[in-house]
Structure 1
Amino acid sequence: MKGFRLSVFKTTAFIFLGFLLTSTGHLAWMYRLMELTSADVSYQLSTVAGYALQAVGIGIFALLLKLKRKSPRLIFIISTLGYTACLFPAILSGSFAFSAVFGLLLSLLCGVIAGYYLYELAENGGEHRAALFGFGYGAATIGSWLLSVIGGGSLYYGNGVLVICSVLAALSVGAAFIKAQPSESEQITADSKPKIKLSRLLLLCGGVVLLFSLVNNIGFAFSASAVQGGLRVEFSRLFYAVGLIAAGFVTDKSRKYGAVCALAALVIPFIVLALRGELISTAVFWAIGYFAFGFYSVYRVILFSDIVRDKSVIYLSGFGLLIGKVGDSLGSEVNALMSGSELALVVCAAVLFIGSVFLFIRLFQIMYVPAAHSKNEREIFDDFSINYNLSARERDVLRLLLDDKTNKEISEEICVSENTIKFHVRNLLKKTGCKSRVELKTVYRSAH
């Protein structure tokens, strides 16, 4: 239990520190660009190019993870130190060229850092990874908001932000050296895997995330014009943070509910536009929109995290965010190109929304609707464990025993002695009334 709690703390710490570091650095660089160049150029660099390079950074981490050239922890440490080093010229330089180049490097390294903490989430987050991600991201968003209100946001324009980012980087690197026992990870068995090839499933998931991201970005652009003197952008982060935390817990409770809420978030910008002129109603739905956006942010990450529970493709753990960032970049560019035509933005968002719904329904049927209304493997396992009053550790041992693991392999997997495993196996046989492992497996399969 202690090892599990430490693992949960470590995973949450990585997400909180990593996102707070990179979001703080990105905002400071964006404000610096606004001092050195026009708003349009600043937008293209910090938003369009920045999001695209974050996606590239996540891809680089995934490639290094797949090739196994360097340990994930070493990649993270080097990237975090490099990010901190690039912050100084990006923020302090009086040259636009220097600030732009080092700022774009920040975006690339930001992606690598995000790739690592999403890998940690998939590897060690266990059954509560949605809540861990939502809480870590939400807490970091609140932290970013607090920094923005200090001195009316002046902190981002001074050297103080460099001190804060340096401290966050040091804490992040320190967290990388915390040794914690991996928490329980769900395993997808043949009976519980979606009845579709992995490559097709990934393409479908990627299509849904990309369209969701495009609709969100374009929708918020045209609905923003409907908010006249309403909420400040800085204040809206609080609603987003609350949405992230709520989304984490709801998604852990039910993947279906989390997915439906993510789809529902796409409708909010259209409602805001329809209520134009009614200041109070518009502001309320604008706040609801930021709250609902938290469900999409959690959904795109957890969707891929669920798929990569099969350890052979864990290098894909960050692809939900990667594809989301590609959508963010494309959506931001569409907003810039169509900024003079609100009607064009609305039509574009509506067409993409229809496509989103079509793909989402298909994905929802594959991921969350059991064939012939039968129980999935997780439900069968839970029912079996409850029927025989199995402890948490006995469940861990049973899960691995059903995968034909030996006592030695099980002991290595859950980091306890082989004698302890033998003790738990004897208890399993006694509780189920079986005389051997073979009989236990037969009894378990009969529950299907």
Structure 2
Amino acid sequence: MQTALIILAAGKGTRMRSDLPKVLHPIAGVPMLTHVLSTAAALDPARTVVVTGHGAEAVEAAARDVNEDIQTVRQEEQLGTGHAVAQARPLLQDFDGLAMVLFGDTPFIREETLHAMRDAAQDADVVVLGFEPQDPGRYGRLVMDGDRLDRIVEYKDASEAERAISMCNGGLMACSAQKLFELIDATNNENASGEYYLTDIPALAGQQGLKSTVVTCTEDETIGINNRAQLAEAERFFQNSARAEALEIGVTLVAPETVHFAQDTVIGRDTLIEPNVVFGPGVTIETGAHIRAFSHLEGCHVSRGAVVGPYARLRPGAELAEDVRIGNFVEIKNAEIAEGAKVNHLTYIGDATIGARSNIGAGTITCNYDGVMKHQTTIGADVFIGSNTMLIAPVSVGNGALTGTGSIVKTDIPGDAIAIPPQQVEVKEGRAGRYFDMLRAKKARHKKG
């Protein structure tokens, strides 16, 4: 059965006390709307429609950041959930399949629950998500007749007997797209809020001899965000879940409560993560890596056996090969660091390529920005960059070359050459190999002595 998704994301979220549309407030580094869209994508929907309203342009842009094929439609007046769903009709008028309604401020629905709702729609005309909270509070109640859902009653419209019901409305609904719009046409706004409720659908379906049923989920899945306190609680819930999952798959977290994950963080087993590490969006850590304390990673890839930190920052485009060492107070941005290379201290590497086994000394800077354009630095394999070297991009350093301490490198250095400061560097070709041989011999004599 083909499925179309209708995501309701038009609300202002007055209780957030914010100019930012509610569904764009971040959880785990991405808008809560992104969580909903990413999970719902597991249904492989034929179409996805996001209904926007407050801050429509920003919400639409965020939706298309997830998938550029997402369609959007605006709810110009806020006249209730039923009215919001009805706005999707022009985009689905030719769709002959199942429509599933989700909410942009309910980010933790699981894939398994969505699949269960779609499966239930094969035997029922309307499927509603239900849950039993510890405190039913002001949730809408599901009035059942055996295994059939008779109606949904909003708390403000419920009788005392109906308020005593423990099964509550989780908000999500699935129904044939064309039947859903027909039923919405039959709703009215004769209720305490003067709005057109999506929750009227089961009762209207029953009047037409159609069957409504309920699929249940845990209370955690239905967490909705309406204010800053609930946003903080949602973040706490996500982080605790992510930490538990990491531990379960074989990741060592020395102090789990201090590690913060993003929505899409991927970490391989046998990785060791020390305290106070923050993962921004777009991070993949391979098996057996070691992320040391107080490091911040975003938009990067760390291969097996690599060590990062402490106090390191990996920015978007950082690509670390196997057994790379990135040390304290080092920042890497849009750079490829090849196998076995070391960048150990107080260094900035941006828009660069560093070859295998090269060693970058403390205080090195790739001067990649001229005030208008970014430029590339290329460092070959087995290169030794002396401390406080300034590499003025665009520039390259050949395999096996060496720069002396305090070098300012403005011209390309050939392989196996030594660049000697102080002012403009003096380049001596063919000398690096002999220089290193001399140092190794001296070291060997020292050990013997």
Query: Does the pair score TM above 0.5?
Result: no
Judging by fraction of residues, say which structure has more strand: 2
Q: TM-score, normalised by structure 1?
A: 0.24
Return the index of the structure with the highest Cα Rg. 2
Judging by fraction of residues, say which structure has more helix: 1
Using CA pairs under 8 Å that are at least 6 residues apart, name the structure with larger relative contact order, 1 or 2: 1
Q: TM-score, normalised by structure 2?
A: 0.24
